[in-house]
Structure 1
Amino acid sequence: MIGAVMRYLVGRGVFVATGAAWFPYSTLAVNVTGCFLIGFLAGFAEARQTLSPETRAFLLVGLLGGFTTFSAFGLETVSLVRQGEVAAGLGNIALQLVLGLAAVWLGLTIAQRV
């Protein structure tokens, strides 16, 4: 819930600052910010081993998961590439993009016919 409130506040602030309704700058800002934060926190936890598994889960899954699920997608994809699984990382990108957009289209199509 905290992450969702943060998402709203950042998104609203970006919308007010840009005044642009024609491009989703708010979503872009939230997703990029979330990706930076999840990368920073994961790197910090990995390098210093100072966060308990519970704190790490709260920050990465709870807080940032509520802020943006795109950050989890970013971390998982980069982790695959760092582990040498480049094809899996690229596959994840392709599947997330294609299936995500297809699911939106399908949902819109079904909703319009109900």
Structure 2
Amino acid sequence: MFQKNIDFLVHLGMAALGGAVGATARYALGLIPVKTVFPWVTFFINLTGALLIGFVTGIIMGRKAINPNLVIFVKIGVCGGFTTFSTFSLEVLNLLEEDHLFTGILYAVASICTCLLGVWVGRRLAGYCM
């Protein structure tokens, strides 16, 4: 029981540390001045986050002895702090690769549509509070 509590705390710490690294990297990249309408920096962040989480999961799939703290640090922490789009992309790909075509497409479309709606509703609610 004691060891499980220690492992849990270490895992939380690794997620937090990785999240700090990812969030700091995202912030730093966001400071790059880009003078176009297309959000290139966010696009780059989402793409590199997806590449990183794909690379990490590919390594994990090829090896059995990977330190779980390192996996939590990179997948949940760094990628999660950098972009949650990477996790979303991995989950959709996993569903598609596991022959859950309908569920994968439904999840992708529903996530994008409901999140856009959520941002719109949130903005409207904020307007009522001002």
- Calculate the TM-score normalised by the size of structure 2: 0.79
Distance 2:115 2:122 in 1: 11
* Residue of 82, 85, 88 corresponding to 1:70: 85
C-alpha contact (below 8 Å) 1:78/1:89 kept by paired residues: yes
- Output the amino acid matched with 2:27: Y
Query: Higher Cα Rg: structure 1 or 2?
Result: 2
* Residue of 67, 75, 84 corresponding to 1:60: 75
Distance 1:11 1:32 in 2: 14
Partner of 1:3: 22
* Residue of 66, 73, 78 corresponding to 1:51: 66
* Deviation by residue 1:15-45 (Cα, 9 ceiling, x = unmatched): 33xx325221111010000000000111011
Q: How many residues align?
A: 110
C-alpha contact (below 8 Å) 1:11/1:29 kept by paired residues: no
Distance 1:21 1:49 in 2: 45
Offset at 1:104? 0.3
1:100 paired to 2:115: yes
Distance 2:118 2:30 in 1: 23
* Deviation by residue 1:42-95 (Cα, 9 ceiling, x = unmatched): 101111224222221221001110000000000111011111111111011011
SS at the partner of 1:97?
A: helix
Offset at 1:112? 0.9
Give % identity: 34
Distance 2:72 2:117 in 1: 30
Distance 2:107 2:118 in 1: 16
Gaps of 5+ in 2: 1-19
- Output the amino acid matched with 1:8: Y
- Calculate the TM-score normalised by the size of structure 1: 0.89
